[in-house]
A and B are shown apart, each in its own frame.
Chain A
Amino acid sequence: MNIVVCVKQVPDTTARKELGPDFRLNRAALESVVNPFDEYAIEEALRLKEANGGEVVVLVMGPPSAEDIIRKTLAMGADRAVHVTDPALAGTDWSGTCAVLSTALRRIPHDLVLTGTESTDARSGLVPGGLSEALGIPLVTYAVKLELDAESIKVHRQVPGGYQEVQTPLPAVVSVVKGANEPRYPSLKGIMSAKRKEIQKLTLADLDIDPASVGLHGARTVVTASQARAEKSSGEVARPETPEEAAVIIADFLQARKYI
């Protein structure tokens, strides 16, 4: 069972995100981390490998600085990593990202491609679908549980209030939800061995991808303007003496606005 986990480098989730003059996220000023949602996909991959054997490969598209977060995934237990990095990738949108990742995926043997459900910066959750389409393999998103057999996988797919069972042949793209497992912390031994693990660097030329098809120019969407949210002025503050008085104040407020 060979599993590839797609991982993204994102700004620390507590950082305040600002847009630069080109309407792109100003990443330089921010601490970077493994996309927190991806940690659940990595953990799931490691557990599947422990139970079934095989190899876990982490695939990252990102700037050279992403090597720090790649080392962390290797320290968690991934066997090796593939890092696609090229200056021409700056500003690449969803379509370019899916084209690059799927091209790299075709060169890495895989029975299963795992992802997080979304990244904490873009938050769109669209890469799993784009990869499934580009690779021509089935898609099951929002997995809370995965069970493997030789040629197929059974997924508990999260739906409002519970889950639905979905069975699909392999290979497939599956996104794993937060809470599906408890991602492990890298052990000291893991951190030491991560230093010796292979990180294969690939450029666009290595992947035979035309640089004009990615980056800002190759994008199918372009941001032309941006408006910061107007700061909301604080509303009414109530310090009621009793719970009953509080209830009346809130009920009056809700009734005036037709919520009740």
Chain B
Amino acid sequence: MSSDIMVYVELENGQPKRTALELATVAADLAAHGGGKVLAIALGPNAAGAADRLGRYGVDQLLVSEDPIFEEFLVDPHVDLLARLAQEFEPQAVLFSDSADGRDIAARLAARVGAGLVSGVVDLVAHGDHVDAHESIFGGNFVTTVEVQNARLGVFLVRPNAFTPKESPKSAAVRTLDYTPGDDVKRARRGRTVLEEGEATSLEEASVIVSGGRGLGGPEPFALLEQLAAEIGGAVGASRAAVDAGWIPYAHQVGQTGRTVKPSLYMAVGISGAVQHRVGMQTADTIVAINRDPDAPIFQLSDLAVVGDLFKIVPALTAEIKRRKGA
């Protein structure tokens, strides 16, 4: 086994997602500790173009295959190639973003090569010649330390926004992999993508979230939150009450039966703060709540609690932010 750390890079428009830079940052720390290298893997058309940015965040070598198969089929070709690379390089750990695609590929890879698998990872620490994970469970009510046993390799799904990307003066060498996909990986074929909403932001990956709850009273006031979110570069979330009432699609739900998010800033608007909601967002760095009920439980975990009428405060705030940005 080497001391190398492997990072799976998710791409967006040919560039690494912010989550990939977060992974590169923690991988660089781990690799420096063990005297290993950071090996990043990017798959799909134009993947080599990710090298510049990845290098600046600590990646030593970028392994790429630009075969179109990685866009044509889900999971199978990715797992096939990653399993070969895990065998060839024998890394200490493979890091993925805890996203929909990350989970699918990581689970299949760990099952195929017999690795230990940990999700919800919020920290990784070197422990002798292996890596321990800190896992956030029960909505962040506990953080457990998890060790890999009975396995040589650890596969870790790292929660978006758990690390802040940190630049380090490196440049990544690109190695193009010789990969010819077999017919056995041509199974789940991707077709057209239909976007039903204007923007395609993943709630888990957003660093700012503006969420609305029962206090909004209907679907229309979500437009106020969208305007505020647009002004501060955030995504729109919702409580279960708002989703169950049909005011906003389920993909926006934060909480026990929705998404678990860890943004830098979480604004809870007209959300009382039931346990169901809190376990989805309580590990946000900063929480701002607007509610007309001074006893709303959400205020207990808010860094700033504002008692008042959201229908008036939110548009005024949007205007105020717009004014300051223009100044």
Contacts and interface: CB of A to CB of B under 8 A. Distances in A.
Given A37-B257, A221-B118, A237-B307, A125 B140 contact: no
Contact of A259 (B104, B208, B309): B208
Nearest to B202: A160
Contact of A129 (B107, B137, B282): B107
Contact of B304 (A140, A164, A221, A250): A250
B321 A17 contact: no
Nearest to B320: A247
A168 B200 CA distance: 25
B60 interface: no
A139 B294 contact: no
Interface in B84-107: 100, 103-107
Interface in B268-323: 275-276, 282-283, 286-288, 290, 294, 299-309, 312-313, 315-317, 319-321
Given A128-B107, A220-B117, A229-B140, A165 B145 contact: no
A251 B320 contact: yes
A240 B294 CA distance: 12
Chain B contact-residue range equals 35 or more
B320 A139 contact: no
Contacts of B75: 129, 132, 138-139
Contacts of A246: 290, 306, 308, 312-313, 316-317
Contacts of B150: 218-220
Contact of B145 (A139, A160, A226): A226
Contacts of B256: 13, 120
Given A14-B276, A237-B299, A125 B316 contact: no
B145 A225 contact: yes
Nearest to A218: B150
A129 B250 CA distance: 23
Interface stretch (B18-26, B62-70, B160-168, B188-196): B188-196
Contacts of B315: 243
B192 A164 contact: yes
20 contacts: A17-B138, A37-B257, A98-B111, A126-B103, A133-B108, A139-B108, A142-B100, A158-B100, A161-B199, A164-B192, A167-B191, A168-B187, A178-B250, A221-B146, A227-B144, A237-B294, A238-B305, A243-B315, A248-B320, A259-B286
Given A132-B75, A167-B188, A227-B142, 14 more contacts: A36-B257, A94-B107, A129-B108, A129-B111, A133-B108, A140-B74, A166-B191, A226-B144, A226-B145, A234-B299, A236-B303, A243-B309, A246-B306, A247-B316
Nearest 6 CB-CB pairs, A to B?
Answer: A129-B107, A161-B200, A165-B191, A179-B250, A133-B111, A243-B312
